[in-house]
Amino acid sequence: MKLSKHATDRTRQRGIPKLMVDLLEQFGAEEMAAGGARILFFDRASRRRVRAYSGPLADYIEGYMDAYVILDGGTVITTGHRTQRIRRP
């Protein structure tokens, strides 16, 4: 997945490892965001899949499971940590 300059800066500033962006792409739940963008985040089912996939790394990445990415097309435009629930329609 391609990261924009803004996403690269925000990922670094917010301390989100590139591994989490890759795991979100592979396992994350997807919802529509404002302006036609998409948001990828870890819901309960995707957290279980990541734990099963990561094995011994599961304890390390648990602290990053609140991360999300916003995609526009195939490019990540920003990343962040969820502080509120993502409402599904």
Beta strand pairing call for 2-3 and 75-81: parallel
Which of 54, 52, 55, 50 has its CA nearest to residue 67? 50
Each residue of 9-49: pLDDT tens digit?
Answer: 999 999 999 999 999 999 999 999 888 899 999 999 999 99
Strand ordering across the sheet containing 67-72 = 2-3, 75-81, 67-72, 38-41, 29-32
The model's pTM is 0.88
- By the 10 Å C-beta count (0-12 exposed, 13-18 middle, 19+ buried), 5 is classed as exposed
- Nearest-10 crossing angle of helices 18-27, 44-54: 120
